Structure 1
């Protein structure tokens, strides 16, 4: 039900500030997407059919997942862990299969959860003759080749995207990402973490770059996924220069969200198309699509999920700058950010490294790493050199965290692949291109055999 009176400003800010919690309660959430493919044809699976996405969702229920439905369709799954936290499996617009993990205490827990999920997915997929692939951008299929999932919000977004950018439909249908979600203990802590992680997001983009192919050919990028975000919808994407301005906090982010056009409002289980309309008008009871109605806090929380900057603020901070990849890099991303952001000396060292970068540095870096990866430059340094330092800072942060597995190993091992990438200056995309021009002899289809989970 919608509220009968306007949401107060305190309520809007509270949607974010309520996430503040003391350090001993901080958690880490990991999310990753992956492309399904039919092993016989390599085509992306449709929703319906004997070996479609719906069959995957049905098959996974044998592992204790419960279905989430919309309009008579199963569009996701949920499962609670022993501590009562929920993980979910959901569908991106083109059927990209996403695990949104439960908020967990350590990277050991995250890597275990991710590994269990990939094992369950593989067991079901094997029976359906499907495979799954972790890359940042679909290497083979055109937009027209990608089946669309039956979710109401995606229908609205698909109609709206071409009005505000040329690559929004690619974002929806042909990209996959891995992200990490982290906590803060106060507004000041949120601000420091937001600024530091936003400045460093293009460094992570370079380290994780793994999308050099489009429709079977090299596309000129190391991360086509990151390039897609530069022309999706300027209103709701990018480096949020205001985050680095004096006085930034929950209030300024709420104003940004209020100024960002809406996509939808959900009423009685249905998505109402309000694309391009103003949440401020909604607050005043003057939304053209719902005249006289006022938004609920759920409407506001829904709206916050339609913002897509490189770092997103909800009741936690979401790191959004990385291409999807293999299990090892799904574990490495939260390890990188926990190491940098969850240890005070590491956070201070990381901020010290980026604090003098200006708005032009941030914007140029974001664009340059899409093509140049670790060879890009920022403030007189190579991205490779910055990446070496960032990974070293994260490593020290994880050492200081001292979170041990049952085998008495701490979390630093999860950074090994990133250390190799940074030290060598060779991104995952560079290695894929070496294979394409070498052993694969120009046949991108080999990626499905060599890099499937």
Structure 2
């Protein structure tokens, strides 16, 4: 999330919390696609990470991009920590370890979101060249230790960094050393949300295998196809992972709200200042637990929206659904991730087929698949087959969904062209992470410099 909200509307009942999410409903003809992607900055001269300050740091990058885009700076205690489009559609933010994130505008087609990402990367390269900086498309930083990774001066991240080690062993790795691509998708009703949430949860491990792209850690192979996904297994299990209650046939907004109410908060923001609130849940906040400890202690819808942004399930529900299972990767994968999910979820006939394919997958089966995919990728067993077979079926469905949408570019091509990277990996039968590891061992003389050269945008 690029900017924490300050909506001061008071919360008067549970219906306000449910209604906040329900307001995301829109008719299918108004469905949009919001693509987000993160990438690691590094100095080309020595492959070291880019700090916030200095003459060639992240701060200078943001200032330069602001001049090119004429975007509004986002400030935290006087420091620039992001940029926002003046029309409110799109933002650039920095993740805790300096990962650059584009939060794309809500757009109608994959063609548009791909052009948006291409233009963003062109601007990034234009500014970065002046400082000797390049950017890396991968799911985890391949060489820098946690101690070597810079920390961004963002109040929200200070609170999270102190809290994470108290609730899991990998939270700081997640914050500082991982990167993702995700897509935000719309729903038309509670029933439509339920179908998409349930399909998304069941197929998220398959997406993880399709986009697995983090086989290196601390300058050497880590034995995994998705180190990023392995990290997520012990970040903060009260707020992340699969949601068993979302597998229920009558799952709805209120179920998600009830769960969110009992997850500890990170912060409350008042007058631009962040106040730590990790010792209370949102339900306790509503019941008055912070009275006398922060200014204006009555909870607001802005507090609720901020809290929803600090929950990290594999599929996150806000006023839209966020698909969160993919590693960061090269440019083609930035376009392939929304293509995959839009193809599956935005055509009614294909949505029904995806639902039929996954309807009887239990929470226990999906959770077991999720636990094994970071290590075994497509070889992960599922019932009498493997994740590779599921991935092939899902990619075929997604292609049919995109063809049915019939959204064409100027050359007359529909959106299914963006599935090419996924069709390549399922045809090969091995993940992109395994291909990277093979190149590293067999062609690159175990050189991490070659990894950087290969994956730089």
**Which of 385, 391, 397 is the equivalent residue of 1:393?**
397
Alignment-derived partner of residue 414 in structure 2: 410
C-alpha distance in structure 2 between counterparts of 1:282 and 1:3, whole Å: 15
Deviations 1:79-101 (A, max 9, x none): 25xxx451100010011000000
* 2:445 aligned residue: 441
Equivalent-residue separation in structure 1 for 2:390 and 2:80 (angstroms): 44
Task: Find 1:13's aligned residue among 4, 18, 30.
Answer: 18
Aligned match of 1:32:
37
Q: Deviations over 1:31-68 (max 9, x none)?
A: 00000001112111110011100010011122222211
After superposition, what is the alpha-carbon deviation per residue over 1:174-194, rounded to whole angstroms, capped at 9, x for unaligned? Answer: 000000000000000000000
Q: Distance in 2 between the 1:94 and 1:263 partners? A: 18
Question: Secondary structure at 2:90's aligned position in 1?
Answer: strand
Residue of structure 1 in register with 2:177 after alignment: 174
Pick from 259, 262, 268: which aligns with 1:256? 259
Equivalent residues of 1:216, 1:444 under 8 A apart:
yes
Q: Give the Å deviation of 1:71.
A: 0.5
User: Which secondary structure does the structure 1 equivalent of 2:303 belong to?
Assistant: helix
Check 1:20–1:234 CA distance in 2 against 1; reply closer, same or farther (3 A cut).
same
Separation in 1 of the partners of 2:384 and 2:160? 40
Q: How far is 1:3 from its partner?
A: 6.3
How many residues in Structure 1 have an aligned counterpart in Structure 2? 450
Could you tell me which runs of 5 or more consecutive residues in structure 2 were left unpaired when the two chains were aligned: 1-5
| 1:208-242 superposed Cα distances (whole Å, 9 cap, x missing partner) | 00001100111121000001110000100011011
Write the distance in 2 (CA, Å) between the matches of 1:61 and 1:234.
Answer: 37
Match of 2:246 in 1: 243
Shift of 1:278: 1.4
The Cα offsets for residues 128-177 of structure 1, whole Å up to 9 and x where unpaired, read as 10010011011000000011101101000000000000000000000000
Match of 2:47 in 1: 42
* CA distance 1:132–1:2, change in 2 (3 Å): closer
CA distance in 2, matches of 1:143, 1:335: 33
Contact 1:216/1:445 (8 A) holds in 2: no
The correspondence for 1:308, drawn from 312, 317, 334, is 312
Structure 1 residues 271-320: Cα deviation after superposition (integer angstroms, max 9, x where no partner): 10111311111112222643882111000000000000100000000000
Note if 1:56 corresponds to 2:61.
yes
* Alpha-carbon distance change, 246 to 218 in structure 1, aligned in 2, over 3 angstroms: same
Query: Judging changes above 3 Å, is the alpha-carbon distance between structure 1 residues 292 and 38 closer, same or farther for their aligned structure 2 residues?
Result: closer
Q: How does 1:322-401 map to 2 (within 5 A)?
A: 322-401=326-405
Measured in 2, the distance between the counterparts of 1:348 and 1:4 equals: 38
The answer to whether the Cα contact below 8 Å between 1:143 and 1:170 also exists between their aligned partners in 2 is yes
Q: Secondary structure at the match of 1:35?
A: strand
**Deviation sequence 1:347-402 (CA, Å, 0-9, x none):** 11111111111121111111111001111111222111110110000000001111
Give the Cα–Cα distance (whole angstroms) in 2 for the partners of residues 4 and 106 of structure 1. 33
Contact 1:13-1:251 at 8 Å conserved across structures = yes
- Partner secondary structure for residue 141 of structure 1: coil
Query: Quick one: distance in 1 between partners of 2:182 and 2:389?
Result: 23
- Superposed CA RMSD in Å reads 1.4
> What is the match of residue 161 of structure 1?
164
Structure 2: distance between partners of 1:292 and 1:112: 43
SS of residue paired to 1:166: coil
Distance of 1:345 and 1:92 partners within structure 2? 38
Structure 1: runs of 5 or more not aligned: none
**Per the alignment, in what secondary structure is the counterpart of residue 315 of structure 1?**
coil
